């Protein structure tokens, strides 16, 4: 039985809804060679927020692992990543690997918001060997909240992000682009020209028709107290090494960051969902619940709101993620943090791109009882749904042809260190790397729980 959860931000007023403790309120507080990888179109890639739905992913079990029949994996070392959030990453469909970079080790305590760290680690999960390995390559400056995708011929691509030395003052922001090739175990700085502003918490995809990198929105403020969300779109061409702002038609979505994104290869459109604006972490915060498509089959590319006909939809949220389930022509959304009673989420939704309808794929945990007092939640704060990963935001969510991978993130009980896989074939989650920290008491099998986490 698999049981899990997540608490984020708390708004405690006389009438108010409660969210959890794990959300990140910000108020507290080597040059290398140019990339020479092959370029061109990306066949079958979905480029969804660090995910890749390219064809050819063979799955030997619900968890997506295969046996080491030839003994190529070697003896198991037990090596695994420490708990973290805000990391970047993507799925390598050819190598059947999850590649993960950076993030923050910071863990909130008693619903306080501690300063994020800026990590440099690169980790690779090999599905065939069912094992983790840390790269020894020196690469980008440590950072969190970078955009990430997989590009064949290059590997994991990251853009932007932020870091800070110490616990106060403005963040250092980035607009550099890097590539990590797990076959050579090497990071490479990609040379780039163009005026794209430094930013983090962007939506980012690879176009499978041109091979270009697309970036939407994000936060361009380095202040921990004030945000500057955006709704601009930029394109990076790997052959020319140039960033160009994309001129669009139609009414664009409102400015935002923390939105999920994917590339719809069937319709040639960049799809974004949800996110937050400058009111994030205020008493008046209202998170986005809208779904938009930027259609590149038209010239200029045109924005259209996609969910106008849906009879229902997910609650508004930030830091959820979208992936494209190409075989079913469905946009799949997991988790994030809402602005209602529950806070962090572990539900799974699907948007049918043909009918324009949202539908629940897995409900996840459901809000049940309010807090007893500030940062004191009863064990049954939510009705815990068995066999669903812990509620969370700020972790890694990536897609493959067969399903959805999630790793780490901010939970009601701190930060988690797990890895799970959702199989489209079985319609179930499977635990791949079990959590050692960050789970709710009931989810990890507790019987006489004193509160939500222990």
pLDDT for 430-444, tens place per residue?
A: 999 999 999 999 999
Residue 75 forms part of a structural domain: no
For 17, 136, 264, 342, 374, the CA distances from 14, given in Å and listed in that order, are: 9, 52, 44, 17, 12
Residue 38 forms part of a structural domain: no
The average pLDDT across 294-310 equals 97
Output the pLDDT for position 153.
97
Residue 163: give its domain's CATH number.
Answer: 2.120.10.80
Output the pLDDT for position 8.
34
Which of these, 205, 206, 213, 238, lies nearest to 35 by C-alpha position? Answer: 238
Q: Can you tell me which residue has the tokens 């709710």?
A: 440
User: Phi first, then psi: what are they for 265, rounded to 5°?
Assistant: -70, -25
Burial category of 447 from C-beta neighbours within 10 Å (exposed 0-12, middle 13-18, buried 19 and up): exposed
Does the pLDDT at position 160 exceed 60? yes
Output the pLDDT for position 53.
39
Output the pLDDT for position 57.
39
Residue 43 forms part of a structural domain: no
Residue 137 forms part of a structural domain: yes
Question: Do 350 and 358 form a contact (C-beta atoms < 8 A)?
Answer: yes
Better-scored residue on pLDDT, 310 or 112: 310
**What is the share, in percent, of the chain residues with pLDDT greater than 90?**
77
Question: Do 218 and 201 form a contact (C-beta atoms < 8 A)?
Answer: yes
Output the pLDDT for position 166.
87
Q: Can you tell me which residue has the tokens 């635990």?
A: 431
98 token code pair: 């999850």
Output the pLDDT for position 287.
97
Q: Please state the separation of Cα 269 from the chain's center in Å.
A: 19
Does the pLDDT at position 409 exceed 80? yes
197 token code pair: 């502003």
Output the pLDDT for position 68.
53
The average pLDDT across 281-308 equals 96
- Residues 316-369 pLDDT 10s: 999 999 999 999 999 999 999 999 999 999 999 999 999 999 999 999 999 999
Enclosing domain of residue 350: 88-433
Q: How far is 92 from 290, CA to CA, in rounded Å?
A: 29
384 pLDDT band (50/70/90 cuts)? very high
Total tally of structural domains belonging to the chain: 1
Lowest mean pLDDT among 72-76, 271-275, 317-321: 72-76
Residue 139 forms part of a structural domain: yes
Residue 288 forms part of a structural domain: yes
Residue 453 forms part of a structural domain: no
Output the pLDDT for position 11.
31
Better-scored residue on pLDDT, 26 or 238: 238
The average pLDDT across 240-254 equals 98
Q: How far is 80 from 442, CA to CA, in rounded Å?
A: 25
- Residues 414-429 pLDDT 10s: 999 999 999 999 999 9
Q: How far is 405 from 62, CA to CA, in rounded Å?
A: 12
Lowest mean pLDDT among 104-113, 131-140, 212-221, 319-328: 104-113
Does the pLDDT at position 92 exceed 70? yes
Report CA dihedral (443, 85, 423, 264) to the nearest 10 degrees: 140
Output the pLDDT for position 380.
95
117-123 contacts: CB < 8 A, separation 24 or more? Answer: 117/142, 117/144, 118/142, 118/143, 118/144, 118/162, 118/163, 118/164, 119/84, 119/87, 119/144, 121/81, 122/180, 122/187, 123/81, 123/99
Specify the pTM: 0.88
Better-scored residue on pLDDT, 91 or 48: 91
pLDDT averaged over the chain?
A: 87
Q: How far is 172 from 354, CA to CA, in rounded Å?
A: 42
Output the pLDDT for position 44.
39
Residue 175 forms part of a structural domain: yes
Does the pLDDT at position 283 exceed 90? no
Better-scored residue on pLDDT, 51 or 252: 252
């Amino acid at each position: 039985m698999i049981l899990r959860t997540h608490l984020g931000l708390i708004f405690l007023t006389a009438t108010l809804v409660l969210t959890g403790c794990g959300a990140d309120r910000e108020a507290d507080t080597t040059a290398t060679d140019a990339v020479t990888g092959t370029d061109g179109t990306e066949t079958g890639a979905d480029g969804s927020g660090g995910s890749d739905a390219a064809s050819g992913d063979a799955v030997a079990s619900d968890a997506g692992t295969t046996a080491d029949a030839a003994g190529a994996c070697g003896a198991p070392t037990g090596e695994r990543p420490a708990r973290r959030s805000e990391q970047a990453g993507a799925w390598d469909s050819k190598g059947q690997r999850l590649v993960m970079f950076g993030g923050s080790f910071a863990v909130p305590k008693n619903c306080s918001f501690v300063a994020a760290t800026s990590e440099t680690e690169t980790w690779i999960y090999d599905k065939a060997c069912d094992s983790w390995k840390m790269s020894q390559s020196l690469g980008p400056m440590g950072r969190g909240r970078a955009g990430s995708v997989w590009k064949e011929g290059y590997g994991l691509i990251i853009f932007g992000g932020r870091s800070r030395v110490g616990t106060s003052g403005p963040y250092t922001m980035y607009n550099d682009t890097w590539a990590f090739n797990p076959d050579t175990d090497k990071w490479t700085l990609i040379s780039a020209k163009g005026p794209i502003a430094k930013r983090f918490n962007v939506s980012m995809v690879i176009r499978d028709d041109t091979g270009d990198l697309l970036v939407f929105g994000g936060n361009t403020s380095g202040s921990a107290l004030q945000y500057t969300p955006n709704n601009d779109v930029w394109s990076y061409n790997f052959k020319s090494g140039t960033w160009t702002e994309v001129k669009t038609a139609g009414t664009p979505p409102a400015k935002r960051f923390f939105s999920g994104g994917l590339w719809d290869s069937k319709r040639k459109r960049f799809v974004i969902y949800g996110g937050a604006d400058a009111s994030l972490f205020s008493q008046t915060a209202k998170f986005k619940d809208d779904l938009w498509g930027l259609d590149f089959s038209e010239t200029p590319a045109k924005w259209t709101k996609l969910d106008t006909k849906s009879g229902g939809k997910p609650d508004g949220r930030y830091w959820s993620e979208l992936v494209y389930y190409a075989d079913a022509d469905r946009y799949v959304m997991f988790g994030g943090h809402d602005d209602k009673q529950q806070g962090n989420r572990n539900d799974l939704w699907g948007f049918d791109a043909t009918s324009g309808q949202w539908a629940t794929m897995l409900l996840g945990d459901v809000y049940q009882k309010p807090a007893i007092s500030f940062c004191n939640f009863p064990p049954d704060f939510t009705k815990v749904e068995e066999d669903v990963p812990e509620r969370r935001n700020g972790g890694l969510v990536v897609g493959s042809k067969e399903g959805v991978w999630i790793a780490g993130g901010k939970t009601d009980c701190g930060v988690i260190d797990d890895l799970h896989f959702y199989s489209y074939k079985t319609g179930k989650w499977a635990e791949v790397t079990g959590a050692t920290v960050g789970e709710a008491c009931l989810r990890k099998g507790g019987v006489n729980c004193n509160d939500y986490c222990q």
